[in-house]
Amino acid sequence: MVWIEFLICASLMTFFAYNLCKEGIIVARKTHLEESIIGMFFLAIATSFPEIATGATAVFHLGRVGLGYGDLVGSVIVNLMILLALDYYEGKGRILLKVSRINRVTGVFALGAALLVIMGAALRSYKVPVPVFKGIGSESVLLAIVYVVCLGAVKKLGTPEHPELYSANSEPFWKIWGKFASFLVIVMLLGVWMAGIGDKIVNTTGLSQTFTGTLFLGFATSFPEIIVSFAALKAGSADMAVGNILGSNFFDICVVSFLDCLTKGPILGLLTPGQIIATLLAFILSAVAVVGMYYRRDTRWRISWDTGLIFTVGFIGFVILYFVK
């Protein structure tokens, strides 16, 4: 019964979260927000809101740090693994070679943020006295600073030209904002439901919070972003397809700072070995993606070495997470 409930919730979340992303893109296009720092922050929230709602509910309401944190990290892992499908769909040539400078910079910042989380978790697991500010770890403060610095750097680089995915020229602006706000509320409620389902899966199946959060919740909350990336690829913009994933991943990693505000102590000090392994896995996959974007040699194959390696390592990582807590 719990799996039927999971499929229903995941399907509803996919539908409403996809429409949330769609309306967010339309709002940004109509107001030219995508050309500014506000637009980047606005769209990041729109595409990552399922993870925010599910993760916050799991951590704050259910007290399941493994589910909430695992959802964020799992979303990063799943998104990167999907690059294999995008690479194949794009055709011959490496899709990571087709990204713009702005997305390569975003990928580097995402890798740096993941490294910061890894270091914070490692230091706290070994009881190294890392500063804490009113219950919030200093590493979370640094994450927030890294995000702001990245936005500033990206703003200076400018916004690349992308095709218009969705058009709403005939709709009044208030109606678009109304739909966006409505979808936002619905996705938030579905996120609360999804977190509860994750708790049921842990209780009824004996699966760990880490595995349930990273695989099941991570996949369910990432699916809308995956659809947007395929839509961008179909519209002829490989750069936008990959950029959507990189931007979402960077934002998801930085959401750890938000979850840190919902726990009694630094969240990275509450992680289990399995959750640290999941974070390391996200870092490794991010590193391969960054190397792939800067490695200039192309290929004639439909699947390139970088996306193939990301998928293979990610799959092995999930197998390992199945056996650890």
DSSP per-residue string spanning 28-55:
HHHHTGGGSHHHHHHHHHHHHHHHHHHH
Q: What pLDDT is recorded for position 308?
A: 93
Burial class of residue 316, CB neighbours in 10 A (0-12, 13-18, 19+): exposed
In a domain, 294, yes or no: yes
Provide the domain limits for residue 243: 2-159+172-322
Q: What pLDDT is recorded for position 230?
A: 85
In a domain, 316, yes or no: yes
Q: What percentage of residues in the chain have a pLDDT greater than 70?
A: 90
In a domain, 166, yes or no: no
pTM of the predicted structure, to 2 decimals: 0.91
Nearest Cα neighbor of 269 from 130, 113, 67 is: 130
Question: Could you read off the pLDDT of 76-123 as tens digits, one per residue?
Answer: 999 999 999 999 988 778 899 888 888 888 899 999 999 999 999 999
In a domain, 239, yes or no: yes
In a domain, 167, yes or no: no
In a domain, 164, yes or no: no
In a domain, 257, yes or no: yes
How many domains does the structure of the chain reveal?
Answer: 1
Burial class of residue 255, CB neighbours in 10 A (0-12, 13-18, 19+): buried
Question: Could you read off the pLDDT of 254-274 as tens digits, one per residue?
Answer: 999 999 989 888 899 899 999
Q: What percentage of residues in the chain have a pLDDT greater than 90?
A: 40
For tokens 């020229």, the residue is 169
Q: What pLDDT is recorded for position 22?
A: 77
Poorest-pLDDT segment among 58-67, 99-108, 234-243, 250-259? 234-243
In a domain, 245, yes or no: yes
CATH code where residue 61 lies = 1.20.1420.30
Mean pLDDT (whole number) for 184-212: 91
93 three-state secondary structure: coil
